[in-house]
Structure 1
Amino acid sequence: MPLSDDQQSEIATLRTSPQSTLRAVSPGMEKHLYTAHEVLDHGFVRVVDYMGDDAAIVQAARVSYGAGTKKSRDDSGLIRYLMRHWHSTPFEMCEVKLHVKLPVFVARQWIRHRTANVNEYSARYSILDREFYIPAPENLAAQSTVNNQGRGEVLTGDEAARVLEILKTDAGRSYDNYEAMLNQEGQKGLARELARMNLPANIYTQWYWKVDLHNLFHFLRLRADEHAQYEIRVYAETICDIVADWVPAAYGAFEDYRLGGVNLSAKALDCVRRMLKGEDVTQETSGMSKGEWREFEATIA
């Protein structure tokens, strides 16, 4: 169960006690408040609080650019202009606080984005639940033979069963030993801060993660990408759906210019111009390395 009984009770109380407000409200985001969107086998993402909307981005931009911009482009057009020209400050006027439940190994990858405020569940003070991420069979894959940090062919049959059994057995054994070492029920045992070191990286943790929209877009650009690791990508995709409801104009621009767009180097742009003039450009005449040329061909294919 992604949410504990106490968390569900807390959410139910908050949902039945709405408050009137004079602050800007995003109708699309309101429907996500206190709703846990399930991710993986035991994880979730839920919105705890947010600040701002598309109008807040426009408001901040017009403070910088002056009232004259109102006459030359509508709000959506201004937001697209800001995104297109990498004017990031107005997007920082919006913030969101998320409650996320995720496997520890995903959390350690996630925390590399150091532009957010984080408060994580502490196993120094509390006992972690017996919940582990066990991949679905279709997500069990061998190491890629062409990418040192990617997955290759999906495991099947006896090999898939063998790996799943190892994952389940090791996780259960580690947790059994964790419980056996704890200082509880009259047993002297180990302090919680020491006993936790025996837990596997697929055990679930939780945190509150607060971030502004500019840095959230940077996170999503990397982690919602098709090349990102599956286990963090599904969290990013869930957050994408939430952000699309929260700031639809900003997310539309982000989807167009970042998720669906590409950046070309000066050499790549020169090759495109030469191709448009009818020149037969090859890797040898492009000025690019073999790796760059391979990526360039994939981009324009």
Structure 2
Amino acid sequence: MKDHAVTDPISEAIAQSRATPRQTLRATVPAMEDRLYTIHPVLDHGFVRAVDYMGDDSAIVQAARVSYGAGTKKARDDAGLIRYLMRHWHSTPFEMCELKLHVKLPVFVARQWIRHRTANVNEYSARYSILDREFYIPAEDHLAAQSTTNNQGRGQVLEGEEAARVLEILRHDSMRAYDSYEAMLSQDGQQGLARELARMNLPANIYTQWYWKVDLHNLFHFLRLRADAHAQYEIRAYADVICEMVKDWVPAAYAAFEDYRMNGAHLSGKGLDCLRRMLKGEQVSQEGSGMSAGEWREFQALISG
């Protein structure tokens, strides 16, 4: 059974925050106001919740018009200007919006996530506090073998006895490690090991929590990589939930991001040259393209869909 409970006293603070709305003069987005402090479950014990946000689509437009001048407003509507900014990689106006999230996630997912070094992060400290006995155990349909063609990917889903064997190992080792963690911390008739040392015995599938604050430009970069179909499933599950939040928060910006970044494509100079030649009716081969075999395969996959 899935458990996405938030540890007290945090849950009490969440309930209190949602029960006491405040007036403000700053820009607000009704759909994001509804999402504030709301738990969105991810995986078996994880979640994402929006803690705060700053700005909206109009903040992006306002920042751009400061740069380009008031005359811009007559030439384009807001959505059109946002699309122009996205299309031409003008990223600074998107940095005017920020989002702060509270995330509960497995440690191995956190280590992937933290590679995005353009955010502010404050993580739950196992030096001062004792971690909960909560571990990520994959659902059977996400328990896959190593890919034979991609060192970073998954192959076929494990089935039957092999799946059961792996799940039993994961559950058993997680619980045994936590039992040892508790035993080392115990002060029953002994001093007990320091928390900062005892934590090193815990597996990478134990859950941690953090606050993560990022501007919209860098959030889009995170989502472009982590909400992609090729991303690892576990971090993609979080990215998919955040995508839905961002869609509510800045709908015009998200639509432009989805069109140009998620569903768009980037061609090299050689690729563009080949495409132009093909449109003229020329037959183009890898040998005549100037591309490596790998580049040619990717180019062919791109233009063939």
Which TM class, normalised by the smaller chain length?
over 0.9
**Residue of structure 2 in register with 1:288 after alignment:** 291
User: 1:178 aligned to 170, 177, 181, which one?
Assistant: 181
**Whole-angstrom distance in 1 between the partners of 2:26 and 2:189:** 52
Query: Tell me, what secondary structure is at the counterpart of 1:189?
Result: coil
**1:180 counterpart letter in structure 2:** A
Contact 1:133 1:204 in 2 (8 A): yes
Instruction: Determine which of 37, 40, 43 is the counterpart of 1:37.
Output: 40
Cα offsets for 1:238-291 (capped at 9, x unmatched): 000000000000000000000001100011111111111111212222111111
Matched residue SS, 1:148: coil
Does 2:251 align with 1:248? yes
User: Match for residue 270 of structure 1?
Assistant: 273
Bigger Cα displacement from structure 2, 200-209 vs 27-36 = 27-36
Instruction: Decide whether the 8 Å contact of 1:225 with 1:233 is kept in 2.
Output: yes
* Whole-angstrom CA distance in 2 between matches of 1:24 and 1:184: 52
Q: Does 1:195 align with 2:192?
A: no
Write the distance in 2 (CA, Å) between the matches of 1:140 and 1:15: 37
Counterparts of 2:238 and 2:86, CA distance in 1:
23
Q: Which amino acid aligns with 1:83?
A: M
| Distance across 1 between alignment mates of 2:255 and 2:292 | 34
Shift of 1:134: 0.3
Alpha-carbon contact 1:117-1:209 (below 8 Å) kept: yes
The RMSD of aligned alpha carbons is: 0.9
Amino acid at match of 1:159: E
Q: Does 1:115 align with 2:132?
A: no
Q: Confirm or deny that 1:98 pairs with 2:98.
A: no
Within 5 Å, which residues of 2 pair with 1:58-97?
A: 58-97=61-100
- Which residue of the partner structure matches residue 219 of structure 1? 222
Shift of the alpha carbon at 1:298? 1.1
Q: Distance in 2 between matches of 1:279 and 1:231?
A: 44
Aligned-pair identity (%): 78
State the distance in 2 between where 1:297 and 1:241 align. Answer: 32
Q: Distance in 2 between matches of 1:207 and 1:82?
A: 31
Specify every segment of 5 or more residues in structure 2 that has no aligned partner in the other structure, as ranges.
Answer: none
Structure 1: segments with no counterpart, 5+ residues: none
Amino acid at match of 1:9: E
Structure 1 residue 33: Cα displacement? 0.1
Quick one: which amino acid aligns to residue 88 of structure 2?
A: H
| TM superposition shift of 1:186 | 4.7
Q: Is 1:232 matched with 2:235? A: yes
